[in-house]
Amino acid sequence: MNFRIISALVLRYIFLYTRTPMRLVELVFWPVVDLMVWGNLTMFLQENTSAQFAHYLLFLIGGMILWDVLFRAQQGVAISFLEDVWTRNLLNVFVAPVRTVEYVTATFVIGFLRICVTVLVLSVLAFVGYHFNVFSLKWSLIPFFVNLMIFGWSLGMISTALILRWGQAAESLAWAIPFFIQPLVAVFYPVAKLPIWLQGIALALPATHIFEGMRDVLNPVIGHASWKHLGMAAGLNVVFMALAAWIFASTLRATRRKGLLTKFATQ
Amino acid sequence: MSPTADPEVILEARDLSREFDGVVALDRFSFKLKRGEVLGLLGANGAGKTTSMNMLLGLTTPSSGSIHAFGRDFFKNRVELLKRMNFSSAYTSLPGNLLVWQNLLVFAKIYGVPDHKKKITELLELFEISDLRQRVTGQLSAGESTRLNLCKALLNDPELLLLDEPTASLDPDIADKVRKTIRRVQSERQISILYTSHNMRDIEEVCDRVIFLHKGKVVTEGTASEIVAKSQQSSLEDVFIKIARSGDIVE
């Protein structure tokens, strides 16, 4: 793996974002809208519930912020790929001495940078507007973030593979895929509230364990994340990352074999 | 299959074949490109030029056959070999939101170009687009964009250059300038070039040798004047039309 090439690819995305302020607005605008919706709902519910449960309700804001970690990481991978498609630059990159792993790693870095921007803005606004301190998640904050980011990367690779396979007609998947799994990973409610038959599927996804863990930390009775949830999230992430890498690599091979890459890249 | 031992052979394709859903796009296509040689691939739409080019860049895998570049198996050493190659096409572009110098800087870094600032300045001057350095790439005209793509293609001082219709959509004046610049750079640096075009003037002025393809097969090859003489046509364009309509150079 060549870090010079990764940094060059990252530099390209940074140029792209700084040259196009609307993209920065996108990084902040929708998350802030979400925060306002969930923040105001939380305040309304807090005013109409017991004092003990009122604090626990902050998990709605925590869930929203952590969901954005996953979503931005996924978008970092999928949208970075689409940027190359939209600008008809894909062939230039694929005929340069860039290894697939370097290309994908650069999109991971962009995912990480997108998270940094969004979470920073949301954390400040959530604290100022709704008295939610993201650091109330204590030391669990780091494994929560890391696990959600890795799962987002995996989803990003799967989204990209599907777009590679089905062409630009499938590009809406770049936005849709995270929302396919959102009801399953129990962002805003405990997994126990899902139908029994769905709970097994939900618990097979790493993000579910993170959102369960977050609620445990904010729950005044429990107050900490269980090692079981963190361990399950980390283990499942290894499986999902390996699966996503395999899907991406085999789709790319198939795309080359079928001659779809050039058709797709020059459409 | 081992490549030709001749170190002067920069690129060698042997029996390259490619089928798409039962349709033969390329049928046992073989050729050698020597150091400092410009080889033109000619043929009507669907003749197999782009398929060949895509395989030579590793974008499409052949159904059978082999490609060796610099004496090494291309598919086994793709990334290493791509460092010594480059590519420009009328059908690709650099990200439109970036400034011209930003696009070149990114690719200079990807290719690990030493003293990239000097190199970028040199290439912009070579193609007479120094004044565009701070311009947004998406606002360039077709001619400016083509010259920028060529700057990108020469950033790493490639030994092997693949040019896919580099003068498509250019006006005759710019096309002439581009051809002359390519030829000058090629002869100064002894670059081997594989060149596809539908513009016969391009082929006659730039290429040392030409291969005509029709429905994935080689119909004829030689210098442009040899092919014209062999086919008893009055120009290369007539040969092109003849082959496109009948699949051969003679009745």
Residue A265: per-residue pLDDT: 61
Question: Does the distance separating the beta carbons of B98 and A16 come in below 8 Å?
Answer: yes
Candidate from B50, B86, B97 with C-beta closest to A20: B97
Closest CA to B212 of B225, B229, B224: B224
Residue A89: per-residue pLDDT: 82
What element of type H or E holds B17? strand B9-20
Here the ipTM equals: 0.87
Alpha-carbon distance of B37 to A88, in angstroms, equals 29
Alpha-carbon distance of B160 to A97, in angstroms, equals 14
Beta bridge partners of B102: none
Sequence-separated (6 or more) residues with CB below 8 Å from residue B69? B10, B11, B12, B81, B84, B85, B160
- What residues in A contact B80, CB-CB < 8 Å? 97
Alpha-carbon distance of B146 to B174, in angstroms, equals 10
Question: Does the distance separating the beta carbons of B105 and A91 come in below 8 Å?
Answer: no
Q: Which of residues 144-183 of B touch A (CB under 8 A)?
A: 152
For CA atoms B69, B72, B74, B79, give the dihedral sign.
Answer: negative
- What residues in A contact B54, CB-CB < 8 Å? 259, 261-262
Q: What is the DSSP string of A119-161?
A: HHHHHHHHHHHH---GGGGGGGHHHHHHHHHHHHHHHHHHHHH
Question: Does the distance separating the beta carbons of B51 and A259 come in below 8 Å?
Answer: yes
For residue B193, how far is the Cα from the chain centroid? Answer: 6
Written as six digits, the tokens of B190 are: 């002894």
Question: Does the distance separating the beta carbons of B58 and A12 come in below 8 Å?
Answer: no
Cα angle value B130/B85/B106 (rounded, 5°): 45
- What residues in A contact B83, CB-CB < 8 Å? 97
Written as six digits, the tokens of B159 are: 């030994």
Question: Does the distance separating the beta carbons of B60 and A259 come in below 8 Å?
Answer: yes
**What is the percent of chain B where pLDDT is above 70?**
97
pLDDT one-digit tens code per residue, B206-239: 999 999 998 889 988 999 889 888 888 888 888 8
A205 SS3 class: coil
pLDDT band at A183 (very low <50, low <70, confident <90, very high): very high
Q: What's the gap in Å between the CA of B187 and the closest CA on chain A?
A: 24
Question: Phi then psi for A167, rounded to 5 degrees?
Answer: 85, -175
Q: Which of B1-10, B94-103, B196-205 has the highest mean pLDDT?
A: B94-103
Q: Is the pLDDT of residue B172 over 80?
A: yes
pLDDT band at A267 (very low <50, low <70, confident <90, very high): low
pLDDT band at B3 (very low <50, low <70, confident <90, very high): low
Other CB atoms within 10 A of residue A51 CB: 7
- What residues in A contact B105, CB-CB < 8 Å? 11
Alpha-carbon distance of A109 to A116, in angstroms, equals 11
pLDDT one-digit tens code per residue, A31-44: 899 899 999 998 89
Comparing alpha-carbon positions, the chain A residue that sits nearest to B53 is A262
More confident residue, A28 or B120: B120
Give the sheet arrangement for strand B192-196, strand by strand: B85-89, B160-164, B192-196, B38-42, B209-214, B217-222
For range B138-151, the mean pLDDT? 91
Task: Report the mean per-residue pLDDT for chain B.
Answer: 89
Poorest-pLDDT segment among A47-56, B10-19, B137-146, B171-180: A47-56
Question: Does the distance separating the beta carbons of A257 and B87 come in below 8 Å?
Answer: no
- What residues in A contact B85, CB-CB < 8 Å? 95
For range B40-47, the mean pLDDT? 87
Comparing alpha-carbon positions, the chain B residue that sits nearest to A82 is B95
pLDDT one-digit tens code per residue, A163-173: 888 887 788 88
pLDDT band at A98 (very low <50, low <70, confident <90, very high): very high
Whole-Å CA distances, B7 to A259, B32, B71: 31, 12, 7
Domain that holds residue A211: 3-265
Q: Which of residues 62-91 of A touch B (CB under 8 A)?
A: 83-84, 87-91
Strand pairing of B9-20 and B64-69? antiparallel
Residue A82: per-residue pLDDT: 87
pLDDT one-digit tens code per residue, B52-111: 998 998 888 999 999 999 999 999 999 999 999 999 988 888 888 899 999 999 999 999
Candidate from B60, B102, B110 with C-beta closest to A262: B60
Give the sheet arrangement for strand B9-20, strand by strand: B23-34, B9-20, B64-69, B72-73
Residue B1: per-residue pLDDT: 54
DSSP state of B141: -
Strand pairing of B9-20 and B23-34? antiparallel
Sequence-separated (6 or more) residues with CB below 8 Å from residue B84? B69, B70, B156, B158, B159, B160
Residue B112: per-residue pLDDT: 94
Comparing alpha-carbon positions, the chain B residue that sits nearest to A84 is B95
Q: Which of residues 190-209 of B touch A (CB under 8 A)?
A: none
Comparing alpha-carbon positions, the chain A residue that sits nearest to B153 is A92
Alpha-carbon distance of B89 to B91, in angstroms, equals 5
Q: Is the pLDDT of residue A55 over 80?
A: no
Alpha-carbon distance of A142 to B79, in angstroms, equals 36
For range A7-24, the mean pLDDT? 87
- For chain B, domains (ranges, CATH) are 1-84+160-251 (3.40.50.300), 91-157 (no CATH)
Task: Report the mean per-residue pLDDT for chain A.
Answer: 88
Q: Number of structural domains, chain A?
A: 1
- What residues in B contact A88, CB-CB < 8 Å? 91-93
The verdict on B105 touching A (C-beta cutoff 8 Å) is: yes
Q: What's the gap in Å between the CA of A99 and the closest CA on chain B?
A: 7
Comparing alpha-carbon positions, the chain B residue that sits nearest to A265 is B92
